[in-house]
Structure 1
Amino acid sequence: MALKQEIDQAIADHAAWKSRFRDFINGRIELDATTVGKDNHCQFGQWLEHEGERMLLPKEVHDEIFSLHAEFHRVAATVIVKKMKGDIQGAQHDLTPNGAFGRASAALMQRMLKIKT
């Protein structure tokens, strides 16, 4: 897959997490913090570890996106843990634009969009 297509797909996939979290917080789906926290389980994470390493140049660009992507998954797992411990308000706050997940998501999306231009 071409770089632009890979980035477009990653943006769409990671943007879908907001909807998944709403469903999770409302009890409609289950999520596992350990699985979600692994940044190499999603398609983009696998791509970053393999093809992305040679396509995202210079290496600093790859490393920055790799780090932002890992942070996205780390914070996503934290949202799940908060909800599972009964801190629904904390989990909901993390999903706001000023919350930890909102900031991590925005940083990753903005950096990926910058690559496309």
Structure 2
Amino acid sequence: MGFFSRLFGHDAHDEEKMANIRRSIRSEIDIAECIEAHMKWKGRLQSYLDGTSREQLDPMVICRDDQCVLGKWIHGPALNYFHDDEGFHKLRSDHANFHFVAGSVVKKVQERDLAGSDALLKNEYARASRDVIQDLAELNKHLHRQDQ
């Protein structure tokens, strides 16, 4: 079975129920906004690394995956739909990793390890960001299927 298939991979006779679930989820969270917010982190981190940011970033807050809009949703309401879905657990894991790596980038900058921070940003962070965005794009595809 594919990503998020436990919820969205049901037979056609369940289509009305699935359409209602998709509408309910869309009313709770805007996945496209979450993708955009996570994409903006690269610029924020790069500015912080370059010393051009006016933000005071706290790695102990950034590393928490339950503080952003997406994190609050995946640790809360999303469990009502996806608690046993393999794809959802991948999203949760990838999202936690994203925040851990983003926090590590900031911590390295604060330790004045700019080369280490730059390497993290270009490698582990880039992979973590790509993973979260791919997971969210897959979920968004399911959420915006034509409701019948």
The verdict on a shared fold, with TM-score over 0.5 as the criterion, is yes
The match for 2:87 is: 61
- RMSD value, Cα: 1.9
The match for 1:87 is: 113
String of CA shifts for 1:38-93, please: whole Å, max 9, x gaps: 10011110011112222347522221111110000011111011111111111112
Change (3 A) 1:72 1:59: same
Q: Which runs of 5+ in 1 are unaligned?
A: none
Q: Which runs of 5+ in 2 are unaligned?
A: 1-24, 142-148
- Amino acid paired to 2:135: R
- Amino acid paired to 2:44: R
* d(CA) in 1 for partners of 2:35, 2:43: 14
- How many residues get paired? 115
- Whether the 8 Å contact between 1:53 and 1:59 is mirrored in structure 2 is no
Q: Where do residues 1-117 of structure 1 align in structure 2 (5 Å cutoff)?
A: 2=26, 6-27=30-51, 28=53, 29-56=55-82, 59-96=85-122, 99-117=123-141
Shift of 1:116: 2.3
* d(CA) in 1 for partners of 2:126, 2:27: 25
Which moves more between the two structures, 48-57 or 73-82? 48-57
- Amino acid paired to 2:132: L
TM-score norm. by structure 1 comes to 0.87
- Whether the 8 Å contact between 2:105 and 2:117 is mirrored in structure 1 is yes
Change (3 A) 1:58 1:107: same
TM-score norm. by structure 2 comes to 0.70
